[in-house]
Structure 1
Amino acid sequence: MNIRCLLEEREDRFLSGHACRSKESVGRSRPEESCTIRTAFQHDRDRILHCKSFRRLKHKTQVFLAPEGDHYRTRLTHTLEVSQIARTVARALALNEDLTEAIALGHDLGHTPFGHAGERVLNELVPGGFHHVRQSLRVVDVLEKDGAGLNLTFEVRDGILKHSKGQGPIQGADPAVRAVTLEGRIVRLADIIAYVNHDLDDALRAGLVKSGQIPGRIIAVLGETHSRRIRTMVNDIIQHSLAADGGEIRLSDPLAEAVTDLRDWLYDHVYQAPSVHEDFAKAARILRELFLFFMENEEALTAHGGRRLPGDCREVSVADFLAGMTDRYAINLYHRLFLPQPWKLF
């Protein structure tokens, strides 16, 4: 018996009856030989962890554009915090940690440079719109490995596709936005738990807001410190999911309301703050002008590393190229294309 089979037997013995077991996966779009030492979900996790799109997350904005301080979050550290929170919940509920981790690590692979400012620009310019969730799925299905994709399992792909809430309800029963696995539903909540806490922490560090400005009703429910708030939210999910006999992943109503209030407060006082908004307006201009340039210069698109996949219109190909950029790559490319360069002496 190989190691993978032993791991699958261990899942049968120790995981909850509600857990998604590796050997019961719906499978991959393209059949392939199973790994002898890793389960299907472990294999997916490793494919995501080693792909180029994952490495580029370290230079993509979370909230603060190209911060000078070393301790502000990036899209990569956000992803790692989501993974840690999600795995804690999955372990407490005896669900599949490997599936949970794979979804968490892959959920933001399609995010643009400059955070949601970049996403809004591409959404305006691409026919049919642009959303980082769909782009994350496109990355793992099509764009990685020079167009071959990562060939992930259905359950990981489904969790990536259904992780986002935007400014909508953080808990909803709509099947269109509800992951088929409990592990995917954990990541959906872990995502908002991570970002409302670390975005607030970064805003406090930057002096953008003061702790005394946070509404008292939010502090009363969630706690006064960063660690207390995360602990309160994670504990609430675990306790109320257990109370539902492990068959659902949810926050209690008071906690869900407080988290929603904190998210909305952050939109008003952090994400739309003049100092943040002004930088994002500049970043949006960079992406807009790059998009228009490459739409008019297809040879330049391929010369700079973009590509046209069969069946894709030019707008989609340009959006793929721009969405894959890091902040600094986009800024440097903008400088090379649109600003005078110093003369070189020979």
Structure 2
Amino acid sequence: MVPYACHPARSRGRLHSEPPSRLRDAFARDRDRLIHATAFRRLRHKTQVFVAPEGDHFRVRLTHSLEVAQIARTLARVLAVNEDLAEVVALGHDVGHPPFGHSGEEALAAAMAHVGGFDHNGHALRVLAELELRTPAFAGLNLSWEVLEGLAKHNGPVTGTPGWALAEVDAAFPLELESWPALEAQLAALADDIAYNAHDLDDALGAGLVDVEEAAAEVPLIGVLWRQVKAEWPGETRRRLLVPQLVRELIGAMVDSLLAETRDRLRALSPEFPDDIRRAGRATVAFGPGMEEELAPLRTFLRARMYEAASVQALREPAAAVVRGLFAALQADPARLPGRWRALHAEAAPDVADRVIGDFIAGMTDRYAIRTHAELTGTNPMPADLALF
């Protein structure tokens, strides 16, 4: 590895001291702990873009996280930094998402406004540092400082006052929130961008929300890549094969731009230690300016044709109603919380006890939220024929 890579033997450690593993270094151990965590498994039934998608081919939070991890690990290998650290940050970046994606998050944030609100990034740290229980030795997964740092700064330095969930983790184990994260974490963050730009387009095409020729006409980058694909395979008429090739080319174009720009920034910075990356004053991992300009129309296109599509929007309010209804029912009668959560609610200070209700709801899968809402309220705002995957 290069000198500015994070080396597990030089990790800043864990909040709770533990003997080292006989078989794995610190970051590999963290990755394995995350994969075995209940919160990670629940991502299988949490919305990425589509709520309870029909068919088995669309992304959910789990498959998205796996794809991000694959891209992050490859980038880390090419740049000779720590692959395990990049992978575990990528795998963990979405574990704080509540049911129903951004619709669920907005509803939960509004319901919790009186106790500091909710954001999925801060909640990811709360899940991994406190709520996930895997051993009587300590709460949380007791992950390495570098992993928590990377997750806390998934969107870059945290300026101003952090949300309450992140602030509590930072108070117990200070994460230097105002600096940039290590290179491995920055790679995981941009791998997330690469994955959702490419795979959201893939899912939009697969769902029939857009046609590939429409995308090629409206998004210059897609137009260039689509023409290249068709020129490379002039006799191929099966779009079911050409579209995946287009997605591969899109991922490759973003990866190439990221590697070129990042190498340029590394040469200019000449880092010798991981802290040189943290103190660089700007991101070290980035797309080139040309790619940033080319991605803007793609993001606009996806927003208009996928995220704001009528079929996607039709479920936003019902999903939000499920979250609001759950919170209101449990706030009115906390005794209906399951045993562990009921005890935590009783032990919490009265002015923040409702955060426990938020923790419980945030951990729900889409289908568990719908089922529990029906049990608590006797109603189901979601369409009756919704395919609960």
User: What TM-score do the two structures reach when normalised by structure 1?
Assistant: 0.86
- Structure 1 residue 243 displacement after superposition: 2.6
Letter in 2 for 1:139: V
**Residues 53-104 of structure 1: per-residue CA shift (max 9 Å, x gap):** 0000000010011012100000000000000111111000001001001111
Structure 1 stretch displaced more, 42-51 or 223-232? 223-232
- Is the aligned partner of 1:158 residue 2:149? yes
1:229 corresponds to which of 250, 253, 272: 250
* Alignment of 1:181 onto 2:178: no
Q: Determine what percentage of the aligned residue pairs are the same residue.
A: 43
1:306 to 1:270, Cα distance in 2 relative to 1, 3 A = farther
Question: After alignment, is 88-97 or 31-40 more displaced?
Answer: 31-40
CA–CA distance in 1 between the matches of 2:179 and 2:71? 19
CA pair 27-304 structure 1, distance change in 2 beyond 3 A: closer
Any conservation in 2 of the 1:221–1:258 contact (CA below 8 Å)? no
| 1:89-238 to 2 correspondences below 5 Å | 89-126=75-112, 127-145=115-133, 148-164=139-155, 179-214=180-215, 215-220=218-223, 225-238=246-259
Q: Which letter does structure 1 place at the counterpart of 2:332?
A: E
CA distance, structure 1, for counterparts of residue 79 and residue 123 of structure 2: 30
- Give the paired residue count: 318
Return closer, same or farther for 1:223/1:26 CA change in 2, 3 Å cut-off: farther
Distance in 2 separating the partners of 1:202 and 1:59: 17
- Gaps in structure 2 of 5+ consecutive residues: 157-175, 228-245, 272-283, 381-389
Q: Aligned equivalents of 1:335 and 1:125: distance in 2?
A: 19
Shift of 1:179: 3.9
1:291–1:322 Cα contact (<8 Å) kept = yes
- Return 5+ residue gaps in structure 1 as ranges: 1-14, 166-174, 342-346
Contact preservation (8 Å) 2:225, 2:249: yes
Amino acid aligned to 1:259: L
Kindly report the root-mean-square deviation, in angstroms, between the aligned alpha carbons of the 2 structures: 2.2
SS of equivalent residue, structure 1 residue 244: helix
* Equivalent residue runs for 1:260-299 within 5 Å: 260-299=296-335
Provide the TM-score with structure 2 as the length reference: 0.77
2: distance between equivalents of 1:145 and 1:284? 28
Give the CA deviation at 1:338. Answer: 2.2
Displacement of 1:222 in angstroms is 6.1
Letter in 2 for 1:141: A
> Is the 2:152–2:177 Cα contact (8 Å) retained in structure 1?
no
Which residue pairs with 1:7 in the alignment? Answer: none
**Are positions 1:241 and 2:267 aligned together?**
no
CA distance in 1, matches of 2:293, 2:343: 45
Which secondary structure state, in structure 1, belongs to the residue aligned with residue 94 of structure 2?
A: coil
Contact 1:44–1:152 at 8 Å: present in 2 too? yes
1:23 is aligned to 9
Deviation of the 1:305 alpha carbon = 5.4
- The 3-state SS of whatever aligns with 1:94 is coil
Cα distance in structure 2, aligned partners of 1:67 and 1:141: 31
